[in-house]
Structure 1
Amino acid sequence: MPAFFQALFPFLRWFPLSRAKLRADLLAGVTVALVLVPQSMAYAQLAGLPVVYGLYASFVPVIVASLWGSSSQLHTGPVAMLSLMSAAALIPFATPGSDQFIALSVMLALMVGVLRLALGVFRLGAIVNLLSTPVIVGFTNAAALIIGLSQLSKVIGVPFPRTDSYLLDLWRVVIQVPQLHWATLAFALGAWLIIAGLRRVAPALPGVLIAVVLATLVSALSGFESRTEVAAEQIRHAPLRTTIQEFDADRTRIDSLTTEIAANSRRAERLEERGGAEAVREAAALRATNAVLEHELKRLKADNTLRQMEMHATPLRAVPGPEGGLGFHAADSLAEEADYAPGLWRFSGVDNGTILLSAGGAVVGDIPQGLPSFETPEIEWTLVPALLPAALVMALIGFMEATSISRAIATTTGERVDTSKELVGQGLANIAGSFFGSYTVSGSFSRSAVAARTGAQTGVFAIISALAVVLVLLFFTTYLYHLPQAVLAVIVMLAVFGLIRIQPLVQAWKVDRVGAVIGIITFAATLLMAPDIANGILLGVALTVLHYLIRTMRPRAEIVSRKADGTLGGIEAHRLKPLSEDFVPVRFDGSLTFINVAYFEDIILEAHREFPRACAVLVVGSGINEIDASGEDRIHEVARRLRELGVGLCFSGLKHQVMQALEKSGLVDELGREAFFPDKETALEVLEARCAGAAARAEPDSRPGRGVGHTAVVG
């Protein structure tokens, strides 16, 4: 019974809690919280969400994952990789930051949680083995670059376009460098110096928190954020005013189209479920209408992206009017002696017809105070099939991250990590979190490392860090208003650029060049397909499986002979002379199954053609691990064809399970037990004596020593 309860409630292993353990967990929990709060806000912005949703994701999911996970030092919460993948998956369906985007982010977390829970309950964690090391490294490197460079716009204070091409968007950021905001860049550089410097000289100090506190104080005291609301008629630059009005109109149309497309999809799905010719026709018409609307939606988003850049590139100066009001003129249209207020203003946004201008940098702004309320996630059933591939990839990537972190920490703590339990814990965390406004979460390497380094003993430390987030949500959100977004961008960049690794791909090149090439292709494809980075790793998985199938279909097979040290080696690979013209030994290193039996037949018959005088073909079968019905049937067919030519087919070193299968099928009796040898040395000795002096059945091959042929040697 105790074992049953411990399996159902894994957190029971923490007890009894000694005072020393509780003290260690308290210190670790507080230390992790100092990293968690700023990180969670930064990652929420990376996910296209308001910063408060990062704090929501650092509350309930953290507690649930610690209670039902298998690692006592793993800390769950927002992570950079899944934050970017969440945003990339949802951008085609909603505008980042909008209510619909938030709802879809929560729904995606629920989907990821259900998938992880299912993988854990059915103990299917081994599916992650489809992700080979080169593919993982290639994808991680590309994703780290994408995540880090996507923060560049916040570091220099310019808009970041969002289109279907990440590389094009990044280039549009680069060409805006001449318009950078120097104060924003100064905050970013200052944060980087503090965080990186303290990591080197005083790693025990919470550099991230110190940078956040100092930057927030300086921002508040210096008036870093300088914004104003103006009416359209105050913009005295006609082209800019027109562009702003077009931007606002198209933004409204974008929101309307997004809602209409979703409604049409839901209605079409209901009609298809109802059935009937009329309903099917109506559903098809709605799908066709959506295709037209989606094309318009894509065009409007592209147009507004260009408008946003154009508006930001038009600086304004405030000029006092005759009645005391301000008019905003294009800066380059004013003479030096003109009477205008100092500072350049740039377009920031539109809110209910009111134009927002900014002469400073971007800050976090208002953060809702209070805890997230319990609310059932809203499920858009029509989008579930479209989001399922991304959800599956996120489930696997998150699981891979969590288990690799847990195992790395377990090497020092000696704790046993159960991957299935970890999947259950991560799944429950995402499911429970989705009922409290959380987006997708996973195990964090940086925070888990902090927990292990500060001596966390049990999952209590994670609960303490979550309670610290509760305090922030209840009492401290107002103090974060002036936190520059550039500082959050630096936190993300420092976190992800450390994930870039080149050495594993270099090592893979030395061991398996095809695998290394697949890793490089995965890297390139992830970059090119961004922001849909899930497609990059799916391509890598497909290529890995294809490579495996090809190797399985064409395993290594070669005619062997004696090397100088007495062992056997391929006559082509080692430039050896044949053992004999009277029999030919062929090594076959692969299981005999339906996928490669045709290749096996080709190898054996080609070997006989190369050595027509041979009275026997010996298959050195120590590398054959299994055989199926197709394999047995093909052996029977090959033996029959060779028998018609007066040639025997023999085997040596077959494993017990293979030999047993051949005996049950009757093939051993058909070929004769004398055709099966316990090992290759016995077979070579017997065949040399058996075939010596046999009459030649054909003219000697004019090219003795040639192997099975170019198609016969693989690997």
Structure 2
Amino acid sequence: MIYKLFPFLLWFSDYNKDKLSADVIAGITVAMVLIPQSMAYAQLAGLPAYYGLYAAFLPPMVASLFGSSRQLATGPVAVVSLMSAASLEPLATAGGPQFIAYSIILALTVGCFQLFLGVFKLGLVVNLLSHPVVNGFTNAAAIVIASSQFSKLFGVYVDKAPHHYQTIINVGKSAIHYTHLPTLGLGILAIAIMVILKRVNPRIPSVLVAVAVTILISKFTGFNNDKFIPLENIKDPQIVKTITGFNADVNKIEELGEQRAKLNHDLKIIKGEEKDHGLHIASEKELDIEHHLAIIQAKIAQIKGAAHIKRENLRLVHFAVEKDAGETPVFYTGSTLPNSLETDNHKWRIKVGNKLLDVKNLKMIGAGAVVGDIPRGLKISIPKAPEGTSYIAAFIQLLPFAIIISLLGFMEAIAIAKSMAAKTGQKLDPNQELIGQGLGNIIGAFGQSYAVSGSFSRSAVNLQANAVSGISSVVTSIMVALTLLFFTPLLYHLPQAVLAAVIMMAVIGLVNTSGFIHAWKAKRSEGIISVIAFVCTLYFAPHLEEGIMVGVGLTFAMFIYQHLRPRVALLSKSKDDTLRDAVKAGLRECDHIAVIRFDGSLIFTNATYLEDKVLTYIAEKPDLMHILIASKGINDIDASGEDAISILIDTVRGSGREISFCGVKEEVLAVMERTHLIDKLGKENIYPDTRSALESIYRQIHSKGDCGDCPLKNYMPVQIRG
């Protein structure tokens, strides 16, 4: 029992200095990959880069302490990061305080759901996501993730469109005219370093080397060249007017958002009161609030559209600055630039996002974008509910997304863990792994972490570095903590394009086209579902959950159809002396005896289907005298199935024919005995196998002599006439 509560105690049964040394080296090696990767994935999740470090601090240690796998490296991963951002996008502005609060609550919700599944041993629920669906989704997600980094790689800024492919088109258009070549150069350099080092020696931490080299280049070449100025230093009245108008729009959107939140709160109270009083018709007050909400929503959409146009116009403007103008220079546009002015030869732009522009401290970008300031220290605190809502309301609101993220994250984690266990010989407990992942997310949320999962790339690094136990993950967490406490200033000059390159290189491994081919070969319907999940995920991006839901819906539809219409085959003897599906194998069928195989449980969903098929065979074969139901494929039978057999016996015997069963399983036979169906059928009409059944039936049907060649006794292919 103690080992169930504290599974990490099993690590120390034969632990020694050599194993500790191996774990420490592995932990440090993983940390070298995790630190830059986590910052990149945080931005993919719509958060400031340093929140990746928070997500890399507690979760790796906690998940390893309470999980099952000794080498699984938990932390920020690409797919979960993107899913987190996509889930929260409709609720708050990416990077803002509300968005951050929702991200942390989402991690808490994901952790609670995973812990619930693990404690109650419901790990099998992960099977709701079939491998073809996950394969289609993962391939599409990899493309979405990689392409989402193009704007950072080219150094251009565009607003997100309703569909991801529209955003990529806009990035392409902007890149044609406004690509920042030093940014692109550093991104390509980082990719080249990672590719070359992986080929030369996979043990070298290529990500860390790429980050270190590009930080040095960025620092000593002045790659980042930002200025902070007051609004009056911009000498173009039209630009000043646009900035003022943009800020007015942002303020109005925020004001209307607060009104919407208050009205939604009032509406919930009114609906609750009406429910308590047993009222089922909306009151006048309720309708009035809903009317006001619709008006506010329309106004927000209209103002957002106007703000979007202003934001795009501001991003397109290039400014010039006088050479050696100091820290707070005056900025000119092409139309206001004095002819005699000698400029610094930089193209300056306003840094404008979705937030209010600080007119006293406008950020002007004169070169490439870097990570910038990272707060020192560990942020340990109780997660705060997003402003204007409660913990319970946020939990309920995020639960549908949390379920999808939980299942996807766990599927990824357990697949990695199983792969490593096959190499190490370790025995895995999926439910214990769920507990570990769940606690990692829950406790991580108290350290300001967003949702995390097991990482394939870092787990591979951990295994290659000869990690013996979860102590390696504890060491990794300690290294991240030391970085947060002492080394964050070293990351200031890390180019954003390099983080984009890190993400793009990481998701290449997610692309697996062979998965489509494998699914198609296994079953065409599953191959089609995999492709549909892939296409839908790409189309609906950034709302990736919709692609998953389409795939899951199709899988369930196929599952239900297969239960409604199980395979029913008429058998004949094949070349290898076994009975096979006569139609599929191209065999002749016996006119007097029908051996019918039913593949599936005989239950309420398909009870009448067997009867329909038997009646069809009777209608097609007027000389049919005996029907033998080969029951080896019938694993279960319910009351509806039993009733269907009873009716079938009456129908067949009523037509002057006989019916019998062979290969009936014990569970099915027990039901037939309890309901006395076996008495109606006759025990003499139940045979242990097909061979003994045919020997007995054949003697009955052909008692007066041989009828010649029979497809049930001889291999008789269908003759094709040319």
Q: Equivalents in 2 of 1:289, 1:434: separation in Å?
A: 36
* 1:356, distance to aligned residue in structure 2 (A): 2.4
Q: Deviations over 1:70-127 (max 9, x none)?
A: 1111111111111111111001010011110000000100100000000101111111
Q: Structure 1 residues 77, 262: CA separation in 2 closer, same or farther (over 3 Å shift)? A: farther
Q: Equivalents in 2 of 1:562, 1:41: separation in Å?
A: 65
Q: Deviations over 1:604-649 (max 9, x none)?
A: 1111111122222221211111111000101111222222221222
TM-score normalised by length of structure 2: 0.91
Q: Structure 1 residues 114, 440: CA separation in 2 closer, same or farther (over 3 Å shift)? A: same
Q: Equivalents in 2 of 1:614, 1:486: separation in Å?
A: 76
Q: Structure 1 residues 493, 332: CA separation in 2 closer, same or farther (over 3 Å shift)? A: farther
- In structure 1, the residue matched to 2:405 is 394
- In structure 2, the residue matched to 1:351 is 357
Q: Deviations over 1:389-440 (max 9, x none)?
A: 2110100011111111111111111111111000001101111111221111
* 1:343, distance to aligned residue in structure 2 (A): 1.5
Letter in structure 2 aligned against 1:242 = K
Q: Equivalents in 1 of 2:325, 2:621: separation in Å?
A: 106
Q: Equivalents in 2 of 1:141, 1:598: separation in Å?
A: 41
Letter in structure 2 aligned against 1:36 = L
* 1:590, distance to aligned residue in structure 2 (A): 1.6
What are the within-5 Å matches in structure 2 for residues 470-489 of structure 1?
A: 470-489=481-500
Q: Deviations over 1:245-292 (max 9, x none)?
A: 332222223333344433433343344334446996545544443344
Q: Is the 8 A contact 1:266 1:381 kept in 2?
A: no
What are the within-5 Å matches in structure 2 for residues 30-179 of structure 1?
A: 30-178=28-176, 179=178
Q: Equivalents in 2 of 1:391, 1:295: separation in Å?
A: 29
Q: Structure 1 residues 324, 449: CA separation in 2 closer, same or farther (over 3 Å shift)? A: closer
Corresponding position: 1:314 with 2:321: no
Q: Is the 8 A contact 1:320 1:327 kept in 2?
A: no
Q: Deviations over 1:354-409 (max 9, x none)?
A: 43221111111111111113224424543444422211010001111111111111
Letter in structure 1 aligned against 2:628 = L
Q: Is the 8 A contact 1:159 1:308 kept in 2?
A: no
Letter in structure 1 aligned against 2:521 = K
Q: Is the 8 A contact 2:164 2:539 kept in 1?
A: yes
Q: Structure 1 residues 191, 332: CA separation in 2 closer, same or farther (over 3 Å shift)? A: farther
What are the within-5 Å matches in structure 2 for residues 252-267 of structure 1?
A: 252-267=251-266
Q: Deviations over 1:466-520 (max 9, x none)?
A: 1111111111112211111111111111001221000111122122111011000
Letter in structure 1 aligned against 2:363 = L
Q: Is the 8 A contact 2:672 2:678 kept in 1?
A: yes
Letter in structure 1 aligned against 2:437 = Q
Letter in structure 2 aligned against 1:362 = A
Q: Is the 8 A contact 1:73 1:457 kept in 2?
A: yes
Segment drifting more, 465-474 vs 328-337: 328-337
Of 498, 501, 523, the residue aligned with 2:509 is: 498
* 1:197, distance to aligned residue in structure 2 (A): 1.4
Letter in structure 2 aligned against 1:217 = L
1:374 aligns to what SS in structure 2?
coil
Q: Equivalents in 1 of 2:299, 2:523: separation in Å?
A: 47
What are the within-5 Å matches in structure 2 for residues 200-211 of structure 1?
A: 200-211=199-210
- In structure 2, the residue matched to 1:368 is 375
Q: Structure 1 residues 284, 434: CA separation in 2 closer, same or farther (over 3 Å shift)? A: farther
2:82 aligns to what SS in structure 1?
helix
Q: Structure 1 residues 298, 405: CA separation in 2 closer, same or farther (over 3 Å shift)? A: farther
Q: Which runs of 5+ in 2 are unaligned?
A: 705-716, 718-722
- In structure 2, the residue matched to 1:642 is 652
What are the within-5 Å matches in structure 2 for residues 176-187 of structure 1?
A: 176-178=174-176, 179-187=178-186
- In structure 2, the residue matched to 1:699 is none
- In structure 1, the residue matched to 2:709 is none
Q: Structure 1 residues 291, 577: CA separation in 2 closer, same or farther (over 3 Å shift)? A: same
Letter in structure 2 aligned against 1:87 = A
Corresponding position: 1:656 with 2:666: yes
**RMSD, matched Cα:** 2.5
- In structure 1, the residue matched to 2:702 is 692
2:601 aligns to what SS in structure 1?
coil
2:351 aligns to what SS in structure 1?
strand
Q: Is the 8 A contact 2:77 2:452 kept in 1?
A: yes
Q: Equivalents in 2 of 1:246, 1:93: separation in Å?
A: 24
- In structure 2, the residue matched to 1:14 is 11
Q: Is the 8 A contact 2:105 2:395 kept in 1?
A: no
Letter in structure 1 aligned against 2:346 = G
Q: Structure 1 residues 508, 62: CA separation in 2 closer, same or farther (over 3 Å shift)? A: same
* 1:238, distance to aligned residue in structure 2 (A): 4.5
* 1:144, distance to aligned residue in structure 2 (A): 0.7
Q: Equivalents in 1 of 2:89, 2:117: separation in Å?
A: 27
Letter in structure 1 aligned against 2:701 = C
Segment drifting more, 92-101 vs 264-273: 264-273
1:351 aligns to what SS in structure 2?
coil
